[in-house]
Structure 1
């Protein structure tokens, strides 16, 4: 655990008692603060009490004696409207922070500064690819024999990691909800993968969403910034950080086009990753045979992770070997099974149209399972990417809405995951890919995207098992 610094003897309110809130309470107490814990859910309060946490109703406290309010990422503090408790704290002039802010203010200590190699923090944000990039960086570091930990929006909560060792690297995945509010953001290396419309109600529009991501770079001043420049926002951000086009503190990266600028560039094109410095090619890596990273979107993730690893001094050959041994993450272009020439791919994490587009471009002859709780615009933006779709099988709340947006693409409204899998498997022929890439949130039928992905896995495996039993008779 990372004990929180700067609040010894102070009363600090904690709103939201999920993973980050519970860990914040423990880390604050370890640092000598008195946490005042509360959650508006009775179930969450009961679970917290079972863990020995004393509750304080933050809707009724006197804020004059409170040093700060630490809130969980999912609780809105600005748009579309502040939570009532956060609004009361802000009106009383109480600073509002989150566990990410506590982590960055507490990570470096007098002890770590005496290490031969001070520990470093790599922070990764963006709309799509954050989790895969974070896990891939962690995997490369492990394969290179570097001490490392992974936390944030993936793995452990940031305050629950072990105190860092000499030369250790902590790799964090950070969402816009986390970067938006953290009062301290000081990574050594910061990564911006890409930007597409998401969470717009929470951030008051696209500008607010980009501003939340940008804070990781503008507030933190990382020693190295790795920026995806395939969107205008990334180009703008890279230009703001670098002093000039030759500034090697900025690594520009792209998936799909060659970068020819005079600085430090990493890009993937036609299945090959290339590193250029000062206009000269340094390295080329063939990504086509890397099974854990299929498609252009995963090649962008490979570029980001490669750039991080090179920034940390890891040799290209070690990085390439680690790319080949990376098996991917569950629910992100995950190969579930292959039978009779048909591959079954679980990309349940494709919760918006942009991420679904990446999945649709990664495979041919797709039998596409999509739907759920659709987002603004539905799947109209996917029209240019439907050429590989043989047929769509639609589920969930937005099934009929999606059907109207598919044009001439063959489709069937199936409502449930079980029926969609059954119909897709019955139709599939050798060479086809049965792909779950919902382009929608999961909350209409499932607790989260993991549960949705597991339902797909279970349905596929159950039918394959039945077919195998039938063939044995």
Structure 2
């Protein structure tokens, strides 16, 4: 299988001068890709680099070795953008930082460059794209696991930590690629869809309030998610999204019988679609009106939210007409994903769970729904991203005995829950303080849960850093 680009690569032919914004993993991956192109070596286009952090200066030697002379730092200014034909935007960069200048620029990123590269290659690999507010990484990694178990050469890439451009030279060894795609990566293409070749299967897992610090409003956020569907040949959609999605994007659906957010009847025009996947009680999955049972109780994919992730993965698998029968083995051998309701340790009957990936209220609700313990010591707080925490009220009232508040928006939680007389609320200086306070008051049978419902950026580099710190604190307890 030949995947080499021609020298007239359609992803590059219109670029004259590109500014790479953000020098994280994706930014560095983009720079490496761009500077290896024959057009760059022939000086047919130029690459400049911007990063808000002054750490860019540490990369000065690397950038010069790549023949990049122009690099900027500090607050972004109009002159950084002036004269640039394109902007390569890293997924962690707020698009508003660029759009606020009203400058007409062509925004691209690692996903769009990757898909354009595929459209110019002879590769016949299949691509599955996964988006949604929650569950993207778990679904992508489970799909990768499922495909590998079935004997297909596969790799999960994208927003879960591996930039797709890093794999450009290894595509001939891949049958199916699984891409995690965030709303930030999709947003620049809301109008016309992603450029390049179509994604074979686009999965839209769920949609709840999030990222209002990065999007103009909820509709802008939703349109970014829909961009994946309109850029895909087949679409796999959670049934509870049917009321907010155009009908043409509901190609294949999946649902959970216990999900109270969906109507009991699937519309006729949807039920006639080729594949319906439904996960119901006792972990029985219905595919094409035929059922098979799997026991997930002792697996690392427990809870209704994970049953839905499994159903979405099965639907995508069947979309591509891939054959597989060992579903139980695949589920039981999946190791799960760190920082997603991850059991850390038991101490004298007190269980500790790390759910640092819970960066919005819906994720924390999913954790509380699953644990169903009346005595949870819940550590929440951080950067709320201007999101409503109201959805937590019902579950905190039922399941939480003490709230331990951390981070810059701790007072938002204190104000929201102050009238719950039976709930003890503790303002904590940091995560160390919160864990210590919870451990001092917990007894055998209780649960200490880090599920912050907030971004970590006010206190940590990212949710991984926060989760690892929590685990380190817990393992140090005696």
Q: Give the total of aligned pairs.
A: 438
CA distance in 1, matches of 2:140, 2:118: 19
Residues 155 and 174, structure 2, Cα contact 8 Å, conserved in 1: no
Question: Which structure 1 residue ranges, 5 or more long, are not aligned?
Answer: 113-117, 243-248, 468-473
CA distance in 2, matches of 1:318, 1:72: 38
SS of 2:346's equivalent?
strand
Deviation (angstroms), 1:99: 1.7
SS of 2:401's equivalent?
strand
Deviation (angstroms), 1:369: 1.1
| Alignment of 1:150 onto 2:156 | yes
User: What residue number does 1:216 align with?
Assistant: 228
Deviation (angstroms), 1:434: 1.3
Deviations 1:427-472 (A, max 9, x none): 2223222111001121222121111111110110000xxx2xxxxx
TM-score by length of 2: 0.84
Distance 1:385 1:211, change over 3 A: same
Query: What's the RMSD between the two structures over aligned residues?
Result: 2.7
Residues 226 and 253, structure 1, Cα contact 8 Å, conserved in 2: no
CA distance in 1, matches of 2:53, 2:382: 28
User: What residue number does 1:246 align with?
Assistant: none
User: What residue number does 2:402 align with?
Assistant: 391
Deviation (angstroms), 1:25: 1.9
Residues 130 and 180, structure 2, Cα contact 8 Å, conserved in 1: yes
Moved over 4 A (4+): 1-4, 57-64, 257-260
User: What residue number does 2:258 align with?
Assistant: 256
User: What residue number does 2:296 align with?
Assistant: 287
Deviation (angstroms), 1:228: 1.1
Deviation (angstroms), 1:272: 1.2
User: What residue number does 2:236 align with?
Assistant: 226
Deviations 1:369-401 (A, max 9, x none): 111122435522211112122222222222233
CA distance in 1, matches of 2:85, 2:155: 30
SS of 1:328's equivalent?
coil
User: What residue number does 2:75 align with?
Assistant: none
Deviation (angstroms), 1:287: 2.6
CA distance in 1, matches of 2:295, 2:115: 37
Distance 1:273 1:11, change over 3 A: farther
| Alignment of 1:371 onto 2:381 | yes
User: What residue number does 1:471 align with?
Assistant: none
TM alignment of 1:25-424, pairs within 5 A: 25-34=31-40, 35-41=46-52, 43-51=54-62, 52-53=65-66, 54-56=68-70, 60=79, 67-77=85-95, 79=96, 82=99, 84=101, 87-88=102-103, 90=104, 94-112=105-123, 118-161=124-167, 162-165=169-172, 168-182=175-189, 183-184=194-195, 186-218=198-230, 220=231, 222-231=232-241, 234-237=242-245, 239-242=247-250, 249-254=251-256, 256-257=258-259, 261-263=271-273, 264-277=275-288, 280-290=289-299, 292-315=300-323, 317-365=325-373, 366-386=376-396, 387-406=398-417, 407-408=420-421, 409-424=423-438
